[in-house]
C-alpha cells in the first residue's frame, strides 16, 4: 500500500460561514498544507441530516469525480501536435 493510500484524507467541513469567509479559510489552509489533497465542503440542509461516515464517503467520491473532470478538461485543452 502506498504512503498516499495509508494517509487519511483531510476533509474540512464548514458550517455557518458566508462565501467570502469560506474562500478565506480555503486560501489559508491551502497555503499551510501545500501539496496536500484537501477536500472542502460546506454544510447543506441535506448534509446536516447524514451520518458523518456517510457524508465523508460522499465527499470523497465527489472529490475523485471532480478530479477526473478537471484532468479530462486539461487534456482536452492542451495543444495537439
pLDDT in tens, 10-28: 999 999 999 999 999 999 9
Is residue 1's pLDDT more than 50? no
Nearest of 46, 58, 75, 42 to residue 9 by alpha carbon: 58
79 vs 41, which has greater pLDDT?
41
- The whole-angstrom separation of Cα 80 and Cα 55 is 40
Is residue 8's pLDDT more than 90? no
Amino acid at each position: 500500500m502506498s504512503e498516499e493510500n495509508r494517509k487519511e484524507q483531510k476533509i474540512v467541513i464548514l458550517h455557518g460561514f458566508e462565501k467570502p469567509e469560506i474562500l478565506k479559510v480555503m486560501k489559508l489552509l491551502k497555503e499551510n498544507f501545500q501539496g496536500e489533497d484537501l477536500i472542502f465542503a460546506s454544510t447543506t440542509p441535506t448534509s446536516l441530516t447524514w451520518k458523518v461516515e456517510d457524508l465523508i464517503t460522499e465527499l470523497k467520491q465527489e472529490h475523485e469525480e471532480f478530479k477526473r473532470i478537471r484532468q479530462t478538461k486539461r487534456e482536452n485543452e492542451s495543444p495537439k501536435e
